[in-house]
Amino acid sequence: TGLHELAGILQQLRDDYRTVLVLRFISQLTPADTAVVMKRSPGAVRVLQHRALEALRRILEAEGQKMHE
């Protein structure tokens, strides 16, 4: 199912990348609340989120290429 695929893809990410994406987009916390939970500054959370999304994009692109082989 889609949830199993999503879980599998998220498992490929570093722990901090997975955590920031789950807190921001699944738990729907604000960047400030995410910073408190992760014990980081809001700026660090924004950078981490950006890097996590880039890593996720690369994984999804690789998965898409595998499907077309």
Q: Which residues contact 12 (CB under 8 A, 6 or more apart)?
A: 59
Question: pLDDT at position 69, please?
Answer: 65
Segment 41-50 shows an average pLDDT of 97
Does the pLDDT at position 47 exceed 80? yes
What is the DSSP code (8-state) at residue 40? S
The model's pTM is 0.86
Spatial distance between the Cα atoms of 30 and 55, rounded to a whole number of angstroms = 21
